[in-house]
Copies of this chain bind each other. A is one copy, B any other.
Amino acid sequence: MLMDPHLLTTFVTVARHGSFSAAAAELGYTQSAISQQIAALEADLGLPLLSRRPVEPTPAGRRLLEHAEPLLLRLRAARADVLRTAAQPRHLLRLAATPLAVNAVVSARLAEARARQPRLEVRLRTCRAEDLAAVVAEGRADLGLADGLAAPSDPLRLPESGPMTTTGVSEEDLVVVLPGGHPLAGRASLRLADLIDARWLQSPLCPLARLRDLVGDGFPAGLEYEGDDVHTVLALAAAGHGLTLLPASAVPAGGGQVCVVPVSAPRLVHRVELLHAALPAGAPSDVAAVLTG
């Protein structure tokens, strides 16, 4: 009658795995329990939510999934937020960042913060962009740094993440990374529209979906790289597996067999944003102030 979050979690887990047994394993239940929980949820709503064999969400199930994930996130976020009100001041800052978010500006500001507060300890972990909001909302990190492509002064498009504030930290020019011998390698600048039919690298450092969002369809994926190592991406680009767009400072000057060309149009930047939920007292809030400049 009230849609127990417990049941919702099992539901999303089953949907994600496409399997009752796999969900059971993940959640530490028996298959049977999972089956009963799903049945209970379906009985409660009076609708089938999953087709069996194969296990796939029905239209109603798909609708519920769209609600359930953010709902559960908000629930955990609320818990974390309430707990923060009672947290004592810390001098430990837990920072979560997407791979390219920690650039020169951020490092410098962080150094500044450490200079001001000698006792400050920083624990930095990298984190996939799609997880960052949840990590911060749930209090698993005090601050989050997200990077991504955006039009100048426009915000990034972060996944709906509940009550959280974002502040711009830095914006930087973008360059197209080309293999050394590429016909366009010598150019002073390039327009992305001229490259929509080229092969591109799909990687977390430069997600093509976002590029299509901003510029238009095209940008076919040549090779897909699931890691977040800049050197690997540069090596792949050098080997001609595809082009990629990176912040200028991420490419070592004069090194490697790649050639970088600034993007002239459309005006896009590599933007870094700071995410924070309500901040616990102590280091985190002070650092947030320094990071945003």
Contact = CB atoms under 8 A, between A and B. Distances in A.
Interface in A53-99: 59-60, 63-64, 67-68, 71, 74-75, 77-79, 81-83, 85-86
A33 interface: no
Nearest to A163: B67
A75 B3 CA distance: 7
Interface in A167-197: none
Nearest to A64: B82
Nearest to A83: B45
A5 interface: yes
Nearest to A5: B2
B3 A5 contact: yes
A59 B68 CA distance: 28
A83 to B, nearest CB: 7
A281 to B, nearest CB: 12
B83 A78 contact: no
Given A3-B79, A45-B79, A85 B67 contact: no
Interface of A: 2-6, 9, 45-47, 59-60, 63-64, 67-68, 71, 74-75, 77-79, 81-83, 85-86, 163, 278
Given A3-B79, A63-B81, 4 more contacts: A5-B5, A45-B83, A60-B85, A74-B74
29 contacts: A2-B5, A2-B6, A2-B9, A2-B75, A3-B78, A3-B79, A4-B5, A45-B79, A46-B83, A46-B86, A47-B82, A47-B83, A47-B85, A47-B86, A59-B85, A60-B82, A60-B86, A63-B81, A63-B82, A63-B85, A64-B78, A67-B74, A67-B77, A67-B78, A67-B82, A71-B71, A71-B74, A71-B78, A74-B74
